[in-house]
Amino acid sequence: MTEQIKLRALDMSRVPSVTDLVFAELYNRVVDLDLLPGTKLSEAEVAKRMGVSRQPVRDAFYRLSQQGFVSIRPQRATVVTPISIEAVHRARFIRTALELETVRAAMARMVASDIAELEVLLGEQKKAVDRDDRSGFHALDDAFHNRICEIAGHGHVWALIRDHKAHMDRVRYLSLQNGAQLALDDHIEILGALRSGDEEAAIVRMRAHLGRIAGIIEEIRAAHSEYFDPDEV
């Protein structure tokens, strides 16, 4: 008979670790282009400025490198990577595949309180658009999509999407300079389809929303060529 192993249940509501906090701060600074492509990051300097030890910074750098945000070069500075067009298209494909399935699943589980929550998020997005708060809108945009995943019963899917959409996020942020209202309009249409129970319309509108980036990426690269990988055609 196999001996029973005693293990404690994991506390899934734990507070973020120091590494989580350092990672989130650096991630957001890269997405918002406060840390531009080519910026050199010193482990010691980041630790000093954030008031933490070097180990959580080292761990955060590694997580960022796994998402393609930084390049870690032994014995040399860690550098913020340029935006990769190829990585953006790859992220869009993965994100679209996952989110269309979460929309289908959400339709089967959605109740009035879920619609109300999404409406509140859209109200906050409208406020962000009105005050030209790109960072705030970007966070609320993610919250809208994340909430749909949660309603679908697949909140874990958002973690997968986030891990693959790093390069896409920077292009999305650049697009919000002129396209935040368009993104909000898309969300309003998606929610309208969800509210009416029209699964096909919800799928079509989510696909069109996530596909917009493919149509504008060359325009954005032309306007901000310094942010993109010069080795990609």
Q: 102 by DSSP, 3-state: which?
A: helix
Residue 1 has pLDDT above 80, yes or no: no
Q: What is the pLDDT of residue 167?
A: 80
For the chain, what are the domain ranges? 18-80, 85-226
For residues 145 and 137, what is the distance between their CA atoms, to the nearest angstrom? 12
CATH code, residues 85-226: 1.20.120.530
Contact 4, 41 (CB under 8 A): no
Q: Can you name the CATH fold of 18-80? A: Arc Repressor Mutant, subunit A (1.10.10)
- 161-216 pLDDT per residue, tens: 988 887 888 998 888 878 899 999 999 999 999 999 999 999 999 999 999 998 89
